[in-house]
Amino acid sequence: MNLFSYVMTDDKGFAPNPFGGFLTLACCKPRIRRVARTGDYIIGTGSKRTIGTTQLICAAEISDVVSMEDYGRLPKYNIKRPVTSGKWWQVLGDNIYEKKGSTWIQRENPDHDESHMEYDLTGNNVLICKRFWYFGDYAEELHPRFHELIKTGPGHKRFKETPLIKQFLIWLSKMPCGIRSTDHLRIDTPESCTPKKRC
């Protein structure tokens, strides 16, 4: 088992996407998506310019790894497709890529434009997480003994299963799974990522 830690410079409900009954990481973080496997964990912490580096925004256990082609094609993942009509969170859907023949097509969405396609698609896979903790703007303060798990700057940190990881997972499991808060996401026009600033 591995644990992947990274900084969430923005939390828009898109990457990761906690809606539809399960959390997914389908865009951004291509290096993690290429190598993560079932049973691994991902955690996202805050940044200095947002809520602080010791704040845990989300954590998830990977229950399945699917190809981006299957994610865009299979009906069971349609709930993650962005739509403009329906519930407010559906516009934030991360199922934005579809392969037709040998050509990738990007579905209309408010977060990533065509300048993000190559970067997103290099991830190859989508991480499916049925067991997850999404704290949102009610992030959980990490105890100092877990500060070693915090990644600073771009990229990610990868940890093998160690006593520290076991302690962290025990601490995490004592909190209810699912979504704690999405109040910060209820805005009319989500701010999109920019090509110069990767999420």
pLDDT tens sequence for the chain (199 residues): 999 999 998 888 999 999 999 999 999 999 999 999 999 999 999 998 888 899 999 999 999 999 999 999 999 999 999 998 888 899 999 999 999 999 999 999 989 999 999 999 999 999 999 999 999 889 999 999 999 999 988 899 999 989 999 999 999 999 999 999 887 765 444 444 544 455 6
Q: Rounded to whole angstroms, how far apart are CA atoms 35 and 13?
A: 23
- Judge whether 2 and 164 are in contact, CB under 8 Å: no
- Judge whether 136 and 19 are in contact, CB under 8 Å: no
Q: Which two tokens stand for residue 108?
A: 């209309």
Record the pTM.
0.91
- Judge whether 20 and 91 are in contact, CB under 8 Å: no
- Can you give the pLDDT at residue 195? 44
Q: How many CB atoms lie within 10 A of CB 80?
A: 23
